[in-house]
C-alpha cells in the first residue's frame, strides 16, 4: 500500500510539473474570437473579417485565401479539408473539398512511363483544384459575408506584400525546377539572370495574374447580386466562373500546354462533398475526424487502443510510454496503409470494424511488450463487422513488399538545432514532412472551424495565366493493389490524403480544435497533442510545444516514385534532443534506431474552448511562422 501511495505521489508531482512548465510562446486569449494559421499576415486577414462582423467560418475562409496567396506550402489550386461545429444544429460537419484524379490518370498510364507511384512534381502530379470550391461552399452554407469581403485581404496580398524569408528562400532553392514551367518562372523568379533569382526577404512580391483571377471571381459574384441573385447564388456564380467559365478555360489550356491531363469536363464535374465525420469517445472526450479518404481514422483507432492503458502511470515520454505509443501507431498506420481510400469508389471498406473497441483490444493483445516488432502488418477488422476478409491473399503477398533493411536518416527540415543535413536526409524529410498549413477559428457564438488545406506548394506548376499553382496530390495514390486495394488511381477518384483536421467535444460542447502540417507525421503529432491535454493535463500551448515522438515504420504517402522511396523503415524513432540518456539507452535495447531533433513535430495550431470561464485559448507551437490573434 505504501508503495502504491509513493507511485501515486510521484505521478501527481509529474502532472503538476507538466502543468507548471513554461512555454516559449505565450498562449493567446480571447473573449470574442480567435484566429490562428500558418502566417501572421494571414491571421491578420482573419482578424479583419472578424472585426467587420464575420463569424468563424468567414474568418477561416479569409485566412485560407490569404495562406494560399502567400504560398504557405499551398496555393489556390490545392485542396481543402475541414471540420465545422455548427452551434445552431449542435453538430460537427465534414467538408471534403479534395480534388480528383483527371481523365487519363490510370495505373497503366504511369507504369508505361516508368513510375511505381505517380510523380511528385509537375502537371502530371495534379488533381483537380478543390480550395476555391471549398471556400465558396463553406461561405455559402455556414458563413455570413460576401466573397468580395472575404477575399479582400488576399487580393491586397496578391497586389503585393513583403514576402517573408521562409517562402522567398524556398523559391530560391527550387528555382531550377521552377524554370521548367514558363508560367511559374514568370511569377516566382522576378530577377532572372541574377545570382539570386527569387525575391528577397521583405521585397514586395506581386502576383498580377492571381489578382486578375480573384478579381474575376468577385466580378461574377457582384454581377449576380446586381441581377437580384441571393448571396448564396452569387457566390455560386463566382465558383462556376472558376470551374466552368473563362478561368477554367485558361487553367486547362495552361495545364495541357505543360503536359497535364485535366480537362474542362473534369473541372465542371467536380463537386464539394459534405460528410458526417467519424468519431470515437476517449476518456469522455468525443473526437471527430474526416473519414477514410484522409488518414484521420488512424488517430481514432489509436485512441481506442490507448484508452484501456494507464498512460499517466507509465509517465510522460518514459521508455514504456514511447514504446507503447510507437507500437500503437505502427499498427494503426499498417491498417491505414492497406484499408483506407475514397469511400465513393470502394464498396465495403471495413471502417466499422477498424473503429470498434473490440478490434482495438484484439490489436492491443498482439502488441509486443519487450521490443519493436519490425513485421507489423494490417490487422483483420472484417470479423468485427461479421464478414470474411476478401483480401487475405493480397495480405499474404504484401509481406514481400515490406523491406525494413535500408535505413533513412531522420531529422526534420524545420529542426533549428543547426545540424547540417546531407542530400539524402533532405530528400527523405521532404517526403515525410511535406508541408501544408492549418487554419483554426472560433467565435463567441459557438462556431468552431478546423481546416488542413494543402497542395500546390513551391515548386508548383502554375496553370497558364491564372496565377494558380496546380496540386501535387496525385502522388498519394498507389499503382499496385498489393499496397492498398482501396487507393489505386482512377479518373474521378480522390486520393487517400494525409490532411487531417481535428475537433473534439466534451459534455456535448466544443472542447478543442486542432491541426498540424507535416505529411505522414500529422496524426502522430495530433494524437500526442490530445493525450498531452487529456491524460497529462497540459494547457493548449504546452501541448503544442511538448516533445513528441515520430515513427517511420509506415508507407510514405508523398514523395518518391519508386517502392524503395516509400517502404516502411522498422524501428526508426525520432525523439526530442532533451530526451534523457537513460531513456535513449532503454529504447535502443528494445530495438529502436534513434535520431534526435530540436523540433519533433510540424507547427500544431489549436483553440481550446474554456467553458469554465467562457473564453478562448489559442495555442501555436514554437516552430515555424504559425501564430494567431484573439480578441
Residue 399 has pLDDT above 80, yes or no: no
Kindly report, residue by residue over 167-190, the tens digit of the pLDDT.
999 999 999 999 999 999 999 999
pLDDT at residue 18, rounded to an integer:
52
Kindly report, residue by residue over 98-145, the tens digit of the pLDDT.
999 999 999 999 999 999 999 999 999 999 999 999 999 999 999 999
Say how far apart CA 185 and CA 178 lie, in whole Å: 6
Q: Are strands 550-551 and 572-576 parallel, antiparallel or unpaired?
A: antiparallel
pLDDT at residue 11, rounded to an integer:
41
Per the domain annotation, does 310 fall within a domain?
A: no
Say how far apart CA 187 and CA 619 lie, in whole Å: 34
Kindly report, residue by residue over 508-566, the tens digit of the pLDDT.
999 999 999 989 999 999 999 999 999 999 999 999 999 999 999 999 999 888 888 89
Say how far apart CA 349 and CA 194 lie, in whole Å: 54
Residue 388 has pLDDT above 90, yes or no: yes
List, in sequence order, every residue forming a beta bridge with 278; answer none if it has no partner: 289
Q: Do the beta carbons of residue 385 and residue 356 sit within 8 Å? A: yes
3 state DSSP class of 205: strand
Say how far apart CA 285 and CA 291 lie, in whole Å: 18
For 285, residues 6+ apart whose C-beta sits below 8 A from its C-beta are: 504, 505, 506, 511, 530, 534
CA 514 → CA 84, 170, 171, 543, distances in Å?
12, 26, 29, 11
pLDDT at residue 625, rounded to an integer:
85
Mean pLDDT of 1-8: 38
List, in sequence order, every residue forming a beta bridge with 33; answer none if it has no partner: 443
Mean pLDDT of 391-414: 63
pLDDT at residue 543, rounded to an integer:
96
Per the domain annotation, does 359 fall within a domain?
A: no
Our measurement of the distance from residue 54's CA atom to the centroid of its chain's CA atoms, rounded to an integer in Å, reads: 25
Provide the mean pLDDT of the chain: 92
Q: Do the beta carbons of residue 479 and residue 111 sit within 8 Å? A: yes
Q: What is the gyration radius of the CA atoms in the chain, in angstroms?
A: 23
- What DSSP assignment string belongs to 508-519? TEEEEEEEE--G
Residue 459 preceded by cis peptide, ω within 30:
yes
Q: Do the beta carbons of residue 150 and residue 231 sit within 8 Å? A: no
- Structural domain harbouring 126: 41-71+100-268
End-to-end CA distance of the chain: 50
pLDDT at residue 347, rounded to an integer:
83
pLDDT at residue 622, rounded to an integer:
86
**What is the count of structural domains for the chain?**
1
Our measurement of the distance from residue 143's CA atom to the centroid of its chain's CA atoms, rounded to an integer in Å, reads: 23
Kindly report, residue by residue over 237-296, the tens digit of the pLDDT.
999 999 999 999 999 999 999 999 999 999 999 999 999 999 999 999 999 999 999 999
Our measurement of the distance from residue 513's CA atom to the centroid of its chain's CA atoms, rounded to an integer in Å, reads: 14
pLDDT at residue 320, rounded to an integer:
98
Per the domain annotation, does 601 fall within a domain?
A: no
**What b-and-e string marks burial along 107-137, b requiring 16 or more CB atoms within 10 Å of the CB?**
bebbeeeebbbbbbbbbbbbbbbbbbbbbbb
Say how far apart CA 111 and CA 313 lie, in whole Å: 51
Mean pLDDT of 16-25: 68
Mean pLDDT of 333-344: 97
Phi, psi of 103 (to 5 degrees): -55, 130
Confidence of residue 506 (pLDDT cuts 50, 70, 90): very high
List, in sequence order, every residue forming a beta bridge with 595; answer none if it has no partner: 574
pLDDT at residue 464, rounded to an integer:
98
Per the domain annotation, does 455 fall within a domain?
A: no
pLDDT at residue 302, rounded to an integer:
98
pLDDT at residue 20, rounded to an integer:
55
pLDDT at residue 418, rounded to an integer:
32
pLDDT at residue 434, rounded to an integer:
56
pLDDT at residue 16, rounded to an integer:
47
Per the domain annotation, does 507 fall within a domain?
A: no
Say how far apart CA 469 and CA 459 lie, in whole Å: 9
Per the domain annotation, does 118 fall within a domain?
A: yes
Q: Do the beta carbons of residue 146 and residue 37 sit within 8 Å? A: no
Say how far apart CA 531 and CA 422 lie, in whole Å: 34
Per the domain annotation, does 575 fall within a domain?
A: no
3 state DSSP class of 254: helix
Mean pLDDT of 433-445: 86
List, in sequence order, every residue forming a beta bridge with 134; answer none if it has no partner: none
Per the domain annotation, does 15 fall within a domain?
A: no
Confidence of residue 48 (pLDDT cuts 50, 70, 90): very high
Amino acid at each position: 500500500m505504501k508503495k502504491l501511495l509513493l507511485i501515486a505521489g510521484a505521478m501527481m508531482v509529474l502532472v503538476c510539473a507538466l502543468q507548471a512548465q513554461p512555454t516559449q510562446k505565450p498562449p493567446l486569449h480571447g473573449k470574442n474570437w480567435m484566429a490562428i494559421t500558418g502566417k501572421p499576415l494571414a491571421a491578420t486577414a482573419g482578424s479583419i473579417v472578424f472585426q467587420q462582423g464575420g463569424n468563424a467560418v468567414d474568418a477561416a475562409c479569409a485566412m485560407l485565401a490569404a495562406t494560399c496567396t502567400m504560398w504557405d506550402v499551398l496555393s489556390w489550386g490545392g485542396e481543402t479539408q475541414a471540420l465545422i461545429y455548427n452551434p445552431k444544429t449542435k453538430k460537427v460537419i465534414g467538408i471534403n473539398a479534395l480534388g480528383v484524379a483527371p481523365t487519363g490518370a490510370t495505373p497503366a498510364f504511369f507504369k508505361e512511363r516508368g513510375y511505381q507511384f505517380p510523380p511528385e512534381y509537375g502537371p502530371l502530379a495534379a488533381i483537380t483544384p478543390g480550395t476555391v470550391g471549398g471556400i465558396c461552399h463553406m461561405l455559402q452554407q455556414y458563413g455570413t459575408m460576401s466573397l468580395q469581403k472575404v477575399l479582400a485581404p488576399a487580393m491586397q496580398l496578391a497586389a503585393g506584400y513583403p514576402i517573408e524569408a521562409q517562402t522567398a528562400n524556398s523559391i530560391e532553392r527550387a528555382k531550377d525546377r521552377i524554370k521548367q514551367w514558363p508560367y511559374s518562372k514568370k511569377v516566382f523568379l522576378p530577377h532572372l539572370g541574377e545570382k539570386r533569382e527569387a525575391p528577397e526577404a521583405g521585397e514586395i512580391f506581386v502576383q498580377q495574374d492571381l489578382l486578375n483571377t480573384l478579381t474575376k471571381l468577385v466580378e461574377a459574384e457582384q454581377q449576380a447580386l446586381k441581377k437580384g441573385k441571393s448571396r448564396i447564388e452569387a457566390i455560386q456564380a463566382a465558383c462556376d466562373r472558376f470551374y466552368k467559365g473563362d478561368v477554367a478555360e485558361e487553367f486547362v489550356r495552361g495545364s495541357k500546354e505543360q503536359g497535364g491531363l485535366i480537362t474542362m469536363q473534369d473541372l465542371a464535374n467536380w463537386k464539394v462533398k459534405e460528410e458526417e465525420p467519424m468519431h470515437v469517445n476517449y476518456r469522455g472526450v468525443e473526437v471527430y475526424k474526416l473519414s477514410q479518404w484522409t488518414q484521420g481514422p488512424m488517430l481514432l483507432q489509436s485512441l481506442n487502443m490507448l484508452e484501456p492503458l494507464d498512460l499517466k502511470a507509465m509517465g510522460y515520454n518514459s521508455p514504456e510510454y514511447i514504446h507503447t505509443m510507437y507500437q500503437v501507431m505502427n499498427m494503426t498506420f499498417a491498417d491505414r496503409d492497406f484499408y483506407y481510400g475514397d469511400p465513393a469508389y470502394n464498396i465495403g471498406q471495413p471502417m466499422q470494424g477498424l473503429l470498434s473497441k473490440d478490434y482495438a483490444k484484439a490489436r492491443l493483445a498482439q502488441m509486443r511488450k519487450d521490443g519493436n516488432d519490425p513485421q507489423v502488418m494490417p490487422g483483420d477488422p472484417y470479423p468485427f463487422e461479421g464478414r470474411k476478409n476478401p483480401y487475405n491473399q493480397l495480405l499474404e503477398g504484401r509481406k514481400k513488399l515490406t523491406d525494413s533493411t535500408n535505413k533513412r536518416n531522420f531529422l526534420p527540415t524545420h529542426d533549428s538545432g543547426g545540424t547540417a543535413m546531407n542530400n539524402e536526409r533532405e530528400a527523405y524529410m521532404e517526403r515525410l514532412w511535406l508541408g501544408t498549413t492549418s487554419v483554426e477559428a472560433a467565435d463567441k457564438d459557438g462556431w468552431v472551424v478546423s481546416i488542413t488545406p494543402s497542395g500546390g506548394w513551391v515548386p508548383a506548376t502554375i496553370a497558364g495565366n491564372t496565377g494558380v499553382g496546380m496540386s501535387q496530390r496525385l502522388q498519394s495514390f498507389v499503382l499496385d493493389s498489393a499496397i492498398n486495394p482501396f487507393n489505386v488511381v482512377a479518373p474521378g477518384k480522390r486520393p487517400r490524403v494525409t490532411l487531417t483536421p481535428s475537433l473534439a467535444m466534451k459534455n456535448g460542447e466544443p472542447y478543442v480544435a486542432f491541426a498540424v502540417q507535416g505529411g505522414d507525421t500529422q496524426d502522430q503529432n495530433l494524437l500526442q497533442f490530445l493525450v498531452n491535454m487529456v491524460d497529462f493535463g497540459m494547457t493548449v500551448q504546452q501541448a503544442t510545444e511538448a516533445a513528441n515522438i515520430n515513427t517511420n515504420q509506415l508507407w510514405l504517402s508523398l514523395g518518391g516514385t519508386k517502392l524503395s522511396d516509400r517502404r516502411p523503415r522498422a524501428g526508426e524513432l525520432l525523439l526530442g534532443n532533451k530526451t534523457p540518456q537513460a531513456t535513449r539507452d532503454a529504447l535502443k535495447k528494445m530495438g529502436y534506431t534513434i535520431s534526435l531533433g530540436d523540433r519533433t513535430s510540424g507547427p500544431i495550431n489549436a483553440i481550446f474552448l474554456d467553458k469554465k470561464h467562457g473564453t478562448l485559448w489559442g495555442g501555436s507551437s514554437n516552430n515555424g511562422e504559425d501564430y494567431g490573434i484573439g480578441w
